[in-house]
Amino acid sequence: MHSSSPGTGLSQGAPTVGGDNESLAPKAVIEWLTGKANGYVSPDGDEKVTAFWSTGKVGMTGTSYNGTLPVAAATTGVKGLEAIIPVAPNTSYYHYYRSYGLVRNPGGYPGEDIDVLYDFIHSGDESKRARNNAVVRDKEMANGMDRITGDYNDFWAGRDYLNDIGPMKAALLMSHGFNDWNVMPEHSYRIYEAAKAKGLPVQIYYHQNGHGGPPPMKLMNRWFTRYLHGVQNGVENDPRAWIVRENDKPDEPTSYPDYPNPGASDVTFYLSAGAPGAGKLRPEPSAKQGTEKLIDNFSFSGSTLAEAEFTDHRLIYLTPALAEPLHISGKPRIKIKLASSKPAANLSVWLVSLPWNRGRNTKITDNIITRGWADPQNHRSLRESAPLVPGRFYEMSFELQPDDQLIRAGQQIGLMIFSSDREFTLHPDPGTVLTVDLDGTSLTLPVVGGRDAFKTVAD
């Protein structure tokens, strides 16, 4: 069946983009389906209607915003919601519009923030639009979203479903694309991990493409058959993780015991100087590498910077060419020590596979491994930022987006550090200088087989 979220379609109320009403609305529908709540023929009448055809066991699925709503409903712990299959859900609007304190837009939507999404989804009764705008968009959102500092605050905490997951009881089959740069793959991973920690039945399906993409019908059928119809098909004993390998079809995933791959362990890589060309990325530190500088200029795209042999607008560090494929599974992390010439600066990090492939048969997995962004002003806390003292060095650490990828033989893994990312960050005037202390900076990669596997394929 279909129901409309508040302020959309034929539903009353106002959209809040992750507010409590968007969780309580599907809860009410489910309670009607289970016979607990009354339903009526018309909004203002008293003629009741019953879901006589309902078994009282409910499942939910959908993609993007419609994948968020099953998560929202599940966090209420409503009785009768037995299983959900969210596809590319947005599980935190802070993580959608911010990254470690940095004001960041989803890919393809430069400058967008939560008030823009509110306008986009507000498709309900136009007579209620003015009041809804005044109360939600122009007051609550305008006062809470804070595009100045990008800090995490109570407004954003109230739109983070991870904070509400305590009552959740539904069996979770999660789906996402590793190259979804709209709703990024961390959104699914964070809820999957929390549901697993609660002891709920969980599986996760990841493919190598972009936004959207449900699990194969076979996986969905087995999930709903078990948890809606009560057929003991053994799905709870199936592998937890299903990953579509780089050259495989979306309906032919490879099974793994879990995600991240249990065989992965952290390997820390250190930087050797090379600017304005390429430095080295090695698992052994090279002492006294000093500092290297880059000059911010959003005019250059990330792909242009990654391909450049020499440029002052990024720093890049490369592993040796791989003799065999290398399997990365999990969330890379960067620890960085840097100084800015100005009180504020963007910080962008890409993990790339070089040489860059621009051929006719280029696949989405050929060039970008994963990415991450952060605000150095939030080096101490997501909730509290402070202007940088120009020239002073600060240390911070943050995770890149989760990934599971086989890096092809012949490629080099590149850590690229730059400032403004034209596709995702604000566009300040060019000229800010970032100075990176190489001896205080490192990259940690989750490598299947660990350090020994890397040394085998890269020595």
Q: Are 194 and 71 in contact (CB under 8 A)?
A: no
Per the omega criterion (within 30 degrees of 0), is the bond before 276 cis?
yes
DSSP 290: -
Which helix (H) or strand (E) element contains residue 42? none
Q: Which candidate in 164, 180, 403, 404 is catalytic?
A: 180
Q: Which candidate in 3, 4, 11, 64 is catalytic?
A: 64
Burial class (CB in 10 A: 0-12, 13-18, 19+), 133: middle
> Could you confirm whether 180 is annotated as catalytic?
yes
> Could you confirm whether 95 is annotated as catalytic?
no
Enter the tokens of residue 112: 């967008």
Q: Which candidate in 187, 211, 313, 379 is catalytic?
A: 211
What are the respective helix, strand and coil percentages of the chain, to the nearest 5?
Answer: 25, 25, 50
Enter the tokens of residue 89: 């859900």
Distance CA 302, CA 367 (A): 11
User: In three state form, how does the secondary structure of 142-154 look?
Assistant: HHHCCCCCCCCCH
Q: Are 87 and 219 in contact (CB under 8 A)?
A: no
The closest of 172, 232, 209 to 365, measured between CA atoms, is 209
Which helix (H) or strand (E) element contains residue 218? helix 217-227
List beta partners, residue 222: none
Catalytically active residues are 64, 180, 211
